[in-house]
Structure 1
Amino acid sequence: MAENIGWELYRTFLAVLQEGSLSGAARALGITQPTAGRHVEALEHALNVSLFTRSQLGLQPTDVALALRSHAEAMQHTAASLERAASGHADGAGVQGVVRVSASEIVGVEVLPPIIAALRERHPRLVVELVLSNRVQDLLQREADIAVRMVRPSQAQLVARRVGSIEVGLHARRDYLDRHGTPRNAKALWEHTVIGFDKPTAFLRGASKALPGFTRDAFALRADSDLAQLALIRAGAGIGMCQVALARGDALVRVLPNAFAFQLETWVTMHEDLRASPRCRATFDALAEGLERYAR
C-alpha cells in the first residue's frame, strides 16, 4: 500500500460518494470530470482496492468504500477545522475568521439569528457558519466549533456552559380553539387535531411519560421537522408542542399547562482546544449570554 496519499484523492472519493457520480463530484469540487476519475483511480491503486462499480444508476460504492466513508468524513471535518482555525490568525489579531455553530432547527431559526446579528455588529470580521440539525454534532471530530445542545455533554474534552432550561408546552392558535374548543384534560386532547412526530424520538418518549397516550398513533398531523410542526401550529392547524417563549411572542394559547410541561436543559459547548481562540471565545460567550436571556 502506498504511503503519503494526498488528501485531494480522499476528498474526491468522498465527493463521489456524496454526489453519486464523477460529474457531480467534479461540479462540487470545481474540477474536471477526467480529473475526478483520475483521483479515484489513483486512490484505488494506492489502496489496492476497488471503490466503485458502474451501473445504470451511476457509480455504486463497494463495501470497502462504505467502510472508508466515515474515515474520509473525519478527514474532511479536520481539514475544514484547520481552515477555520487559520482564518482566525490571518492579517492581525482580534476577533476574526470563521466559526461553525451547530444548533437544532428551532433554536437555529427562531432564537439564534438576533444573537448572531448582534455578535456580527460587534465583530464585523467574524464569519459564522450556522448548521441546522437535530443530530448532535460531533465536536470531538470538529464537525462544528460550537454546539447548542439540549443534553448535558459527557465528554471530558468539551467545555460546557449550562444556560438554563427551555420550557416546552402544548399550544394552539386562538382561532383554532374558538372553532374546536379548549381541551380541559388529557382525554379530551385526543379529540383534537394533535401535531407531532412521525418517527419515535427521545423527546417523544420523555413526553409520553408526562402525558400518557402522547405517541405517534395519536398524532393527526405528523412531521419530523420541528419547523414544520411550528408552522402547522402557527397556521391554526391544531395543537402541538412549542417552546413557551416562542409561543408567547406569537400570541399562541397554551393548552393543559399543568398536564404537560417539558424542560429542555440547554448547554453551549465547544472543544477545550478552542478555549484560547478569540473567534470561538467571543461566539461562545455571545451565544451563552443570549440563550440565558431567552431561557429566562
Structure 2
Amino acid sequence: MSQEPAWDLYRTFLAVLREGSLSAAARSLGLTQPTVSRHLEALEDAVRLRLFVRSQRGLTPTEAALELEPYADTIASAAAAMLRVASGHGAVVGGTVRISASEVVGVEVLPPILTALRERHPHLTIELVLSNTVEDLLRRDADIAVRMVEPAQDALVAKHVGIIALGFHAHRRYLDRRGMPATLGELVQHDVIGFDRETPAIRAMLKRVRGVDRSAFALRADSDLAQLAMLRAGFGIGVCQVPVAARDPDLVRVLADAFVLNLPTWVVMHEDLRSSPRCHTVFNALVDGLAAHSKAGASSAHREPGTRPEMPPDKPEW
C-alpha cells in the first residue's frame, strides 16, 4: 500500500455496506453517486482488493470487505467520538453526548430525565441509541450506557443505581375477560406474551424462574417495546418493569408472590470521560433519575427471599 487511505473513504465504504447500493449510500452521506463510486474505487486501489461485486440485488460485499468491516467501523466510531469530545469544549456545559440504553429504558424512563437535563443545559445535544445489545464503550460506540449487567472492564467508570424489578402484568380489560391466574401453572390457560429467540440473557433468567415456556406463548416478539404495546392493548399477560407499570392504573400486577426478576442497573462510561464536564453532567443526571425510577417500584415489587433492597448513594463515586 503506497498511501494510507483517507478517512472519508472508510466512511463511504461503511455506508455502501450498510445500504447495499451506491445510490442509497450517496443519499445517506449527502454525496452524489459518482462521488461514492470514486471513493470505492480509490479504496480498492489503496488496499489492492476487490470489495464489492455488482448483482441484481445491488452491491454484494466480498469476503475481504466483510473482514475489513469491523476495522472500518472502529475508525468511524473513533472519528465520531473525537467530534463529540471537540464539541464539548467551552465555558458552558455543552456539546454532544451519546447514550446507549435498552428499548424500554430509552422510551419509558429516559425521556423526562433527558428533558429536564436539556432544560438545565440548553447547549447539550443528546444522541440516544436504543438497543438491547451491550454497546462497546471501550470502542466509543457510546459515551455513556445504561446496563442491566455489571461491567467487567477496568477502563470503565460504573455506578450501581439500584434494582429494577420485573413482574407479570396484564391490562384490566384482559383480566375482566379471562380472570386472574392464581398460580404459575394456570398461565397455560392464558394468553402469555413472551420472547421469540432465546438469548443468553433470557436463558439466564429462565434458570431462576420455572414454569415459563416459550412453546406456550400466544404472542412471541423479540422487541420489548412490541411486548409492552401488546400488554397495554389487552392481548394477554406479559413481563413489564414494575415502576413502568405502576404509572398506568390499567396495568395490574399478576402473580406478584410467584414471579419476580430483579435487574441490577448500572450507569457506565469510559474512565477517560470523567473529566469531561458534559459527560460528568449527563452521568450524574442519569444516576439520579434512574435511582429514583428504581425506588419508585421498590415498594410494590416483591423481593426474593433473603434479599434486601440496595439503595445507591446520592452521588456517584469517581
The reply to whether TM is greater than 0.5 is yes
Distance in 2, matches of 1:241 and 1:203, equals 15
Q: Equivalences for 1:158-197 in 2 at 5 Å?
A: 158-197=156-195
Q: Which is worse superposed, 6-15 or 277-286?
A: 6-15
Q: By how many angstroms is 1:247 displaced?
A: 1.0
Q: Could you tell which deviates more after superposition, 110-119 or 210-219? A: 210-219
Q: How many angstroms does 1:258 deviate by?
A: 1.5
Give the whole-Å Cα distance in 2 for the aligned partners of 1:13 and 1:130.
24
Aligned length: 294
Instruction: Out of 62-71 and 17-26, give the one that drifted further.
Output: 17-26
Q: What's 2:43 paired with?
A: 43
Gaps of at least 5 residues in structure 1 are none
Counterpart for residue 260 of structure 1 = 259
Hey, what's the Cα distance between the residues in 2 that align with 1:2 and 1:219? Answer: 59
Q: 1:1-296 counterparts in 2 under 5 A? A: 1-89=1-89, 92-251=90-249, 252-296=251-295
8 A Cα contact 1:190 1:218, kept in partner? yes
Aligned partners of 1:61, 1:207: CA distance in 2, in Å?
38
Runs of 4+ in 1 over 4 A off after TM superposition: none
TM-score w.r.t. the length of structure 2 is 0.90
**Offset of 1:286 from its aligned partner?**
0.1
TM-score calculated relative to the size of structure 1: 0.97
Letter matched to residue 40 of structure 1: L
Distance 1:202 1:259 in 2: 23
**Cα distance in 2 between the residues matched to 1:174 and 1:204:** 27
Distance in 1 of aligned mates of 2:152 and 2:205:
23
CA RMSD of aligned residues (A): 1.0
Per the TM alignment, residue 205 of structure 1 is displaced from its structure 2 partner at its CA by: 2.0
Supply the distance in 2 between the matched residues of 1:223 and 1:256 (Cα, whole angstroms): 22
Consecutive unaligned residues in structure 2, runs of 5 or more: 296-318
- Tell whether the 8 Å contact from 2:161 to 2:266 is kept in structure 1 after alignment: yes
Q: Which moved more, 1:21-30 or 1:225-234?
A: 21-30
In 2, the alpha carbon distance for the partners of 1:211 and 1:271 equals 34
Structure 1, residues 192-211: CA drift from partner, whole Å, max 9, x if none?
Answer: 00000011023432332343
> Residues of 1 paired with 2:256 and 2:177: CA distance?
20
Quote the Cα distance in structure 2 between the aligned partners of 1:223 and 1:25.
Answer: 30
Residues 231-256 of structure 1, C-alpha deviation per residue, up to 9 Å, x if partnerless? 11111110000011111111211111
Q: Is contact 1:207-1:214 (8 Å) kept?
A: no
In structure 1, C-alpha distance between the alignment counterparts of 2:24 and 2:202, rounded to whole Å: 38
Name the residue aligned to 2:313. none
- Name the CA distance, whole Å, in 1 between partners of 2:259 and 2:141: 35
1:122 to partner: Cα distance = 0.7
1:128 and 1:68 map into 2 onto residues whose CA distance is 30
